[in-house]
Amino acid sequence: MSYDPLHSISPGEGLDHVDSYWAATAGPSPGDDGRLQSPIETDVAIIGGGYTGLSCAFHLAKRYGVRPVVLEANRPVWGCSGRNGSFAGPALGRVSLSEWAARWGEVGARSLWAEAVSAVETVRSLIKEGNIDCDVQPDGRMRVAHARSTVKKLEEDASVLRSFGAEFEMLTPSEIGEKHFKGKEAHAALRTTYGFVLHPLKLGYGILHMAREAGATVHSASPVLHWSKHGQTHCLDTPDGKVYAKRIVFATNGYTNERLHPTLDSRLLPVLSNIVVTRPMTEAEIGESNFVTTDSISDTRKFLNYFRRLPDGRVMLGSRGPIRESGSAPHRDRLLQIIRRKFPALHSISADYFWGGWVALTPDYMPHVGHAEDDPTAFYAMGYCGSGVSAANQAGRRLAEYLGESKPVPVQLNAQPPRYPLARFRRVGQVAAFQWYGLSDALT
Ligand SMILES: Cc1cc2nc3c(=O)[nH]c(=O)nc-3n(C[C@H](O)[C@H](O)[C@H](O)COP(=O)(O)OP(=O)(O)OC[C@H]3O[C@@H](n4cnc5c(N)ncnc54)[C@H](O)[C@@H]3O)c2cc1C
C-alpha cells in the first residue's frame, strides 16, 4: 500500500532522497551520525530531521549549549525540506493578508507581519552564518492575477501591505512581459522584495552541518516507532535503540504519525503537493517567452500554481497533488500542461523531473509552535500549510529560544492547533474541498 501519513506508523527507514532536481544537483550530504544503535540519554530529543528539527537543534546547540539528539526516520532533509519549491518568503500558513486583521486585529496583524519578515531574515542569517552555498537568487517575489477577476485580490493585499508600511509595486501586464516573463494568465502582479529563491536541499544540508558542528547529534535511519513517559522521562523507541529524554520536540510536519503522542491526534491534514521541472529552455524559447526573472512567482488560484526559472534555464512549476500517492505520469503531464498554457512559447517543452511530498494543513490554516496542554516538556512545531521554507526554520528557532531561555513564542502561533472535527473523515472532506476549489478556479 502506498504511504499515507494518516495511516502509516513511519515514513520509512533509511530511505534515500526522492528522485528530484534538487537531489540530482545538491552534491553529497555533509554526513550524519548514522543509525542509533544503543540506548542514550539526552536533555532534548527532536523527532524529524527537516528544517524545523535541524534549525531547532542548531539554535539550541549554538546559542544555549544544549546538545540535542535529532532522530530522522530516513536521511536528514529527506522530507519536504529537501524537495520543496524553493521559495523563502514572508508566508505564515495559508491565510490571506487581508484576513489577518480580521482574525487578529490591526496590532496582531502587524506583529504577525513582523514575524513573517523575521522568518525570512532567519533563513538569510543561517545562510550567512553557515556560509551555505545554496544558489540564492536576488530578492523578488511576485503574486500574479491569473484572471481579470482576481486582480482585486492583489489590490486587497496591497492595501494591507501599505498599512504595514511595507514596500511593494503593482505591475501591469506589459511591465510583467517586459521585465519578467511574457505569458498568458498575467493580468497584474503584486511584487515585493521580501523573499528570494534558493536550492532547498543545499540549504538543508548546510543547516545539518551547522547543527552537528555546534554539538547536536543527528541520527539517520532511526524512525521513532513508539513514545511513552515514565515519571519525568520520555522514552522513544527506534528499531535498534531507545532514547531517554527530559524534553521532546515533534518536528515531523506532513509526515507526522498522529498516534505517536496524544497531542498530535487529529490536528493535521497531510496533503500531497507535486513539482515538475522541465528540460532547459532553448535560446529561442527564452527569447520568445522572455522568461528572465529570477523571482518566485505564484498565481491567485485556490489550487495555487507556483513557478520559477532555475539557474540552468529550466522551468519549475508546482501545484496540488492527488489525494493519495499514485502513478506519476498523469500528474506530471497535468503540471506540464499548465506550463504550456501559461507560456505559449514553451508549447513543446518536456519534463526531466517530477516528484511530490506531503505538506501539513491545519484546521485554521496556520502553523503552530508550542507544547502539549498537559505536558510542558512535549513540544511541537508544524502545520506550515505548504509555506515552510522560512516558517519552519523560524519555528525551529522559536522553539530553541523557548527551550533555551523561556522566550515566548508569538501569541498568534502558540495556541495548539484545533483538532479536525470528524477527523476520521478528513480524506472525504478533502475530496469535497478539492472539487469545490477546482470548480471555483474554473469559474475564474
Ligand atoms: C512539493 C512541495 C513544494 C513546497 N514548496 C514550498 C515553497 O516553495 N516554499 C515554502 O515556504 N514551502 C514549501 N513547501 C513546504 C515546506 O517544504 C515545508 O513546510 C517544510 O519543509 C517543513 O519542514 P519540516 O522540517 O517541518 O518537515 P519535513 O522537512 O517534511 O521533515 C519532517 C521529517 O520528519 C521525519 N519523520 C517523520 N516521522 C518520523 C518518525 N516517527 N521518526 C523519525 N523521523 C520522522 C520525516 O522522515 C521527515 O524527514 C513545499 C512542500 C512540498 C512538498
Report the atom number in ligand 1 closest to the C-alpha of 81: 21
- Asked whether the beta carbons of 168 and 178 are under 8 A apart, the reply is no
Report the atom number in ligand 1 closest to the C-alpha of 86: 8
What are the distances in angstroms from CA 352 to CA 27, 157, 418? Answer: 18, 35, 40
If one residue of 16, 54, 84 were mutated to test the ligand 1 pocket, choosing by the most ligand atoms within 8 A of its CB, it would be 84
For residue 1, the model assigns a pLDDT of 63
Question: What nine digits make up the cell of 70?
Answer: 535529532
The amino acid occupying position 367 is: P
- Asked whether the beta carbons of 343 and 307 are under 8 A apart, the reply is no
Question: What nine digits make up the cell of 436?
Answer: 469545490
Question: Helix, strand or coil for residue 192?
Answer: strand
Does the beta carbon of 392 sit less than 6 angstroms from any atom of ligand 1? yes
Q: Which residues contact 297 (CB under 8 A, 6 or more apart)?
A: 142, 143, 144, 180, 181, 306, 307, 308
Report the atom number in ligand 1 closest to the C-alpha of 273: 1
What are the distances in angstroms from CA 191 to CA 71, 89, 211? Answer: 39, 12, 34
0.95 cut: is pTM over it?
A: yes
Does the beta carbon of 47 sit less than 6 angstroms from any atom of ligand 1? yes
pLDDT along the chain (444 residues), means of 10: 89 97 98 98 98 98 98 98 98 90 91 96 98 98 96 94 96 97 96 98 98 98 98 98 98 97 96 97 98 97 94 96 82 96 97 97 96 96 97 98 95 88 89 83 78
> How many A from CA of 271 to the centre of ligand 1?
11
Question: Helix, strand or coil for residue 310?
Answer: coil
Does the beta carbon of 71 sit less than 6 angstroms from any atom of ligand 1? yes
CA dist., res. 130 & res. 190, Å (int): 32
Could you tell me how many residues make up the chain?
A: 444
Q: CA angle, corner 228, sides to 239 and 230, nearest 5?
A: 125
Does the CA dihedral 404-407-412-418 come out positive or negative?
positive
CA dist., res. 217 & res. 223, Å (int): 15
